[in-house]
Structure 1
Amino acid sequence: MMKQLVSILDGNTFLVSDRRGDVEPSYDFPTGLFSFDTRFLSTWLLTLDGERLHALSIDDAQSFRTRYFLVPGEPTHYLDAKVSVIRNRAIGGSLGEELTVLNHSGREMQFTVRMDMGSDFADLFEIKHKGRKKGATTAIAGENELRLTYRRDAFHREAVITSTAPAQVDQGGMTWSITVGAHQEWSTRLHVATMIFGARGEDIRATTPLGGTRSPEAIRIEQQQLLDRAPKLGCDCEPLAGAYHQSLNDLGALRYESIALGVRLLAAGLPWFMTLFGRDSILTSLQVLPFLPELVPPTIKVLAGLQGYRLDDFRDEEPGKILHELRYGETAGFEEQPHSPYYGSADSTPLFVVLLDEYERWTGDAQLVKQLEFAARAALNWIDTYGDLLGTGYLWYQTRNPETGLENQCWKDSWDSISYADGRLPGFPRATCELQGYAYDAKLRGARMARLFWNDPVYADRLEREAALLKERFNRDFWITERDHYALALDPDGRQVDALSSNIGHLLWSGIVDDTRAERVANHLLGPRLFSGWGVRTLATGQGRYNPVGYHVGTVWPFDNSFIAWGLARYGFREEAGQICESIFSASRYFDGRLPEAFAGYDRSLTEYPVQYPTACSPQAWSAGTPLLLLRVLLGLEPQGEHLIIDPAVPAGMGRVELLDIPGRWGKVDALGRSRTAEDNVRGH
């Protein structure tokens, strides 16, 4: 499956180009050089003697470095190119690109090399919504330097481009008139510094530009250190090994340093979500916790530090609420978008409590639980106050900002993701089923922390009672007897939104499902309507809005499947969990080990490979975390006090799975699992 676009990234700075390495102005997709939500290059186009170049090969094995091997004209089987060009590109806070022109002929040759350069300084939201700039852009040509500047009041961004070889510089780019001897080469190094001076002077001091640079070697060392700290996987299943290695690489590449906070966080995904997301960051942290626990505390602390403390309709902010999304661009800075930060998710708040408790269970870091007691209590209080919009004991959502706020504030946050079975959309507020599971889990975990670390057994008892009542009420109100499954949601009148969806899988990992109904939930998840053979679809076939290439209405999301597998295993359905593990790992082979945000929900019998969703983010943090959580499921890893329980259940055909040096409060331990053979089954019988 040929990739039409090529990306390199280092944290929040990334470049997306075509397969020649070129960038052309586009408002259809975020191509260009980006840093902290601003596009610093919208034009970066190379020609040789006025001709565009064509790619022979691309080396993009490393996330932060790419090499393009190019020739002018259309390469053919009967014409040998007399000249070729290599673009060696690396990113590390800024962009560096070495251009090399190689003369393969036996005589001296002259060439005109031209790089068109330009920036629209577009905000990512302007690209997504095809907006236009309100400030002024200037281009100043200097000696071997082009300075592109954008100003709007105190909002100031610059791209400063320099060349090591003498160049003719104009406002639209640089030109080199070169002579290259027979079988010789010419090169220049270009550097693009991205300068960030602040939005309204708030994120950093307006007098101090942020435009740091890291060498490719420094990035390589940092990423290698991350790989070295992770548990070592040995296995017979090649797709599992490839996905695990790729996931660790992608998680390393997605780490970025916050402008204002000075800590390393995980960005949610390239290209649209290269920033902190409450829900995404929490779920990714849960996935990576058994493997790289040190990545988790910065996320927990930052989310606690930015916890809502007031009522702000524009930002959907409420006291105790955990943020949804934090942006640094122009539209957020001038409050044209509410993302500074924005609080429009109903699930990030209970999930924050879940993560804090799960982190302590793995690491034994009681100090962090004590330090964040106030934040956790505030989050639990939000569930029962602002979260319960109708006073029914359920967690509901409805945006306070109908102009720019998100309509759907669950993980399926597209406009049409929550529907009745016949395709109709319910009114607001909505109470989706998985939100109730998260609230239930948060209360039980809050009770554990209150009893063990906050010295408040009365509060713990109260939370446990509330959780028990919620579970009882939920199993009464959400269960659709005639369809034998849980409702996707309740509408404002308390009626069941009766579509069959993957959301019911999240109920299993939260533990809110009544034991007598768990098998029926598992049967639906692995049944032909939801399970495509490549994974569980977001919406079942036969539902009114089902579309195998619809964003949340029929596609398969790897992260969704990882939590569904975790839930199945929790209720003892290890074989079914293994089916999901096998399907996702099999799918990963067709994406070179890098699981995308989503792929099409076509049945596996229809396609010999999973069909790519056209605008899926890749890499994406919770997709990168998916193989890690699936590994936890396969090996049955579960912390219990000072010990790690290991109870493997490896699907047939997967062979040996060995994970060494699993970190936690127990030090480091090893886990080994092996799929049963036919001979084992005979002996066992």
Structure 2
Amino acid sequence: MTDQTPGPGTPDEPAAGLQPFLHDACVTLHAPSFTVSRPDGALRCGADGFYHGDRRALSRLEVSAGDVPLAWVGGGTEGADRASFRTVLRGVAESTPDPAVVLTRTRTTGPARLTETLRVVNSGRLPARVSLTVTAGTDLASMEQVKSGRRRPLRTAVAGDGELCWPESRAGADACTVRLAASAPGAQLDAALGQFRYDLKLAPGESWETELVCTVENTAGDLFPAPRDGAAVPWAAPGLHSRDGALDHWVRQAHADLRRLLLADPEAPDDLFLAAGAPWFATLFGRDSLWAARMLLPFGTELAGSTLRVLARRQGTAVDPRTEEQPGKILHEVRGAALTLPGDGGGPDVELPPLYYGTVDATPLWLCLLHDAWRWGLPAEQVEALLPHAEAALAWMRDFGDADGDGFLEYVDTTGRGLANQGWKDSGDSIRFRDGSFADAPVALCEVQAYAYEAALGGAALLRAFGRPGAEEWEEWAGRLKSRFREAFWVADEHGRYPAVALDGAKRPVDSLTSNLGHLLGTGLLDEKESALVVARLTGPDLDSGFGLRTISDRFPRYNPLGYHLGSVWPHDTAIAVHGLARAGFPGEAAQLAAGLVRAAASFDGRLPELFAGYGADESRHPAPYPASCRPQAWAAGAAALTVQSLLGLAADAPAGVLTVAAEVPEAFRPLRLSGVRVGGAPVGITVTADGTPEVTAPEGITVRTAPSRLG
């Protein structure tokens, strides 16, 4: 191994120890592999690399032409797993000011395989001579090392027949070998520098091409492999055609990204789920996978069914303080090795075991998904097979989720090295009082009570429908939760009443105003007047940025538009609020938030990131990125499907053969036509005419109920 550690020689190379930025990265993926590069296609700094699993197989892949200046002139992603980049070789074979020689770099990312085709074309009138060099390298860094900004030295390659090879000599389950082969003959290989060199002579109109193929050989196999070749995508492709091209493009890009985020359960390879996102979270996360599957329910129940089974196989069965496992609990995340992350504010490092259960909301969300999937038509035999897991999840809410017996679900990190906050806003500084002080554990989050309320009622409906005991008990439990929530969570400021984001360990309401309120709407936890108060807060300019909901009001003393959970905008969070607004009977407000998401999606070329900055539409025509955000992220992509579902007011009762369409589509999106909807597996087509009238085509056996639009 030689010390070729790259230094901060370029403006986009972060200083050692800083998390790399991703806002200008080009990401192509086919889980469990993905490629992160500069906009010009080069892998050269920061988080750039070709990854397989949680290892960086290539950290450098650059093309140079001696002293010839290279000028990138365009390109980027094409779908999810492909990208192309064009670069002009300045001054080569030029007889006029027009460029003559262009390098095109075409990329395809596949499971454990990166393919790059380099093509040089001389379109000038003079012959061209080019000394082309491909420089490659790898540090075999773990994702933990990359994310923390810890640099590692590049390894020395071994030259073979037309290839460079980086074998990992150490023993271990994750030991791997990386190979990079070039198809064109005549390369001069330099193993010490990791280079292929070509001396090209191109006549006018002539071209040259080589294919670079990087493969990863892992001795242990994949923690979660890609779906089998030929495996069907577990939802129908949404076909959307509307008056707004940005909405249509968002849906198409989201579908492409979600397809390539699919992973398989090695214990049951036909069961697929969505990895949370690339690059940081390309694995199984309970909360993320459940929300993404729930968002896609109108397009089929197959993903929901398989996601439920994947998590049920790993449902907690014992009490283990080290991993925070408890009987009936649904996991937080799974990785191939323990994960260490820097602590917030100089505190102790966070150390998560490979199988970690530190989440308070995944268990009720699992129950919500099972109930909703049943309503959309998950086959009865699949639902029934999961009911023992549902009963265990319900029991967890009562026996472990409510550890102190006050009737609320709460969390506390008992290890001292796990996640201090265990809701979806799981950064260490996310749950604060209005004065900026931190909430002491155990913490009961407002949205988790809404999930638990839905889960209890949904669980009761399932138990009753399948002839199992306990339905009345859980209906009564939900009723008590609703009453206690009304008594304990509501606070007031100079603008009126609103629910606190949480209760702290002393049962004091944590009174900051947050986007979490959107998750309460439409769940049944609030009455009509309470919902109206929440809606007024969500749609105020301090939370609604014009591109989506800020995670916290910009009047909060610690508000930071680039704060991970203290001012940024998360698309999935806003989409959940849009859905809640539609369900609660506030179509105008739902349309307002939905339009903001569509504007944001257009600015990110249809691929909404995990989160972006909270700067408002009154400050800029385009949202500003959060520099270290994952893109794509499963629930950010799923937000497109949930937004369309919300605007169309789709709700299903497949056991009764009923589909409700209460379309409230804004005029800017009409006319609109949607295909791909499935109720109990049967296809449904929906059109909303220019005047807002819904027209639905459904097969025999499906009763369609429509409602007139109130938007006009």
TM-score over 0.5 (shorter chain)? yes
**Structure 1 residues 469, 281: CA separation in 2 closer, same or farther (over 3 Å shift)?**
same
After superposition, what is the alpha-carbon deviation per residue over 1:399-445, rounded to whole angstroms, capped at 9, x for unaligned?
23322x11111011112111101111111111111111111111111
| Alignment partners' CA distance in 2, 1:648 and 1:143 | 62
Please say if residues 417 and 552 of structure 1, whose CA atoms lie closer than 8 Å, have aligned partners that are also in contact: yes
| Alignment partners' CA distance in 2, 1:512 and 1:107 | 74
Bigger CA drift: 90-99 or 321-330? 321-330
Please say if residues 653 and 675 of structure 1, whose CA atoms lie closer than 8 Å, have aligned partners that are also in contact: no
Question: How far off is 1:130 after superposition?
Answer: 3.5
| Alignment partners' CA distance in 2, 1:69 and 1:43 | 19
Question: How far off is 1:364 after superposition?
Answer: 4.3
| Alignment partners' CA distance in 1, 2:102 and 2:374 | 56
Q: Aligned pair 1:174/2:195, yes or no?
A: yes
Give the equivalent residue in structure 1 for 2:278. 270
Q: Aligned pair 1:289/2:278, yes or no?
A: no
Of the three residues 329, 337, 361, the one matched with 1:321 is 329
- Matched letter for residue 439 of structure 1: A
SS in 2 for 1:521: helix
| Alignment partners' CA distance in 1, 2:327 and 2:95 | 67
Please say if residues 300 and 677 of structure 2, whose CA atoms lie closer than 8 Å, have aligned partners that are also in contact: no
Question: How far off is 1:233 after superposition?
Answer: 2.2
Bigger CA drift: 573-582 or 168-177? 168-177
Identity among equivalent positions (%) equals 35
Please say if residues 203 and 260 of structure 1, whose CA atoms lie closer than 8 Å, have aligned partners that are also in contact: no
1:267-416 paired onto structure 2 within 5 Å: 267-328=275-336, 337-403=351-417, 405-416=418-429
Please say if residues 103 and 180 of structure 1, whose CA atoms lie closer than 8 Å, have aligned partners that are also in contact: no
- Matched letter for residue 193 of structure 1: T
After superposition, what is the alpha-carbon deviation per residue over 1:252-286, rounded to whole angstroms, capped at 9, x for unaligned?
22223455653432121222111221111111111
Q: Aligned pair 1:195/2:207, yes or no?
A: no
Question: How far off is 1:535 after superposition?
Answer: 2.2
**Structure 1 residues 61, 390: CA separation in 2 closer, same or farther (over 3 Å shift)?**
same
- Matched letter for residue 177 of structure 2: E
SS in 2 for 1:116: strand
After superposition, what is the alpha-carbon deviation per residue over 1:45-100, rounded to whole angstroms, capped at 9, x for unaligned?
21122556331221532322222222335899974445332222212120111222
Give the equivalent residue in structure 2 for 1:207. none
- Matched letter for residue 28 of structure 2: I
After superposition, what is the alpha-carbon deviation per residue over 1:444-493, rounded to whole angstroms, capped at 9, x for unaligned?
1111111112x223x11101110100111111111115540111100101
**Structure 1 residues 231, 187: CA separation in 2 closer, same or farther (over 3 Å shift)?**
closer
| Residue correspondences, number | 658
**Structure 1 residues 106, 523: CA separation in 2 closer, same or farther (over 3 Å shift)?**
closer
| Alignment partners' CA distance in 2, 1:12 and 1:313 | 30
**Structure 1 residues 648, 80: CA separation in 2 closer, same or farther (over 3 Å shift)?**
closer
Question: How far off is 1:329 after superposition?
Answer: 5.3
After superposition, what is the alpha-carbon deviation per residue over 1:361-413, rounded to whole angstroms, capped at 9, x for unaligned?
0014111221112211111111112211222111111123322x111110111
TM-score with structure 1 setting the length: 0.89
1:457-476 paired onto structure 2 within 5 Å: 457=469, 459-476=470-487
Question: How far off is 1:166 after superposition?
Answer: 3.8
Bigger CA drift: 665-674 or 472-481? 665-674
Q: Aligned pair 1:426/2:444, yes or no?
A: no
| Alignment partners' CA distance in 1, 2:332 and 2:683 | 34
Question: How far off is 1:620 after superposition?
Answer: 1.4
Q: CA RMSD in A?
A: 3.1
Q: Which runs of 5+ in 2 are unaligned?
A: 1-21, 341-348, 693-707
Q: Aligned pair 1:126/2:140, yes or no?
A: no
TM-score with structure 2 setting the length: 0.86
| Alignment partners' CA distance in 1, 2:590 and 2:264 | 36
| Alignment partners' CA distance in 1, 2:586 and 2:409 | 28
Question: How far off is 1:174 after superposition?
Answer: 2.9
Of the three residues 635, 639, 646, the one matched with 1:626 is 639
**Structure 1 residues 682, 59: CA separation in 2 closer, same or farther (over 3 Å shift)?**
closer
SS in 1 for 2:428: coil
Bigger CA drift: 160-169 or 85-94? 160-169
After superposition, what is the alpha-carbon deviation per residue over 1:513-535, rounded to whole angstroms, capped at 9, x for unaligned?
13331111111111222222222
Give the equivalent residue in structure 1 for 2:262. 255
Please say if residues 112 and 175 of structure 1, whose CA atoms lie closer than 8 Å, have aligned partners that are also in contact: no
SS in 2 for 1:385: helix
| Alignment partners' CA distance in 2, 1:74 and 1:32 | 30
After superposition, what is the alpha-carbon deviation per residue over 1:191-215, rounded to whole angstroms, capped at 9, x for unaligned?
111112228xx959xxxxx9x999x
- Matched letter for residue 10 of structure 1: H
Question: How far off is 1:146 after superposition?
Answer: 1.5
- Matched letter for residue 242 of structure 1: H
Please say if residues 108 and 179 of structure 1, whose CA atoms lie closer than 8 Å, have aligned partners that are also in contact: no
Question: How far off is 1:660 after superposition?
Answer: 3.2
Question: How far off is 1:612 after superposition?
Answer: 2.4
After superposition, what is the alpha-carbon deviation per residue over 1:78-131, rounded to whole angstroms, capped at 9, x for unaligned?
744453322222121201112223345656554432222211111111112244
| Alignment partners' CA distance in 2, 1:294 and 1:213 | 14
Q: Which runs of 5+ in 1 are unaligned?
A: 205-209
**Structure 1 residues 560, 81: CA separation in 2 closer, same or farther (over 3 Å shift)?**
same
SS in 2 for 1:386: helix
| Alignment partners' CA distance in 1, 2:350 and 2:195 | 35
Please say if residues 227 and 263 of structure 2, whose CA atoms lie closer than 8 Å, have aligned partners that are also in contact: no
Please say if residues 54 and 74 of structure 1, whose CA atoms lie closer than 8 Å, have aligned partners that are also in contact: no
Bigger CA drift: 619-628 or 31-40? 619-628
Please say if residues 275 and 326 of structure 1, whose CA atoms lie closer than 8 Å, have aligned partners that are also in contact: yes
Please say if residues 123 and 329 of structure 1, whose CA atoms lie closer than 8 Å, have aligned partners that are also in contact: no
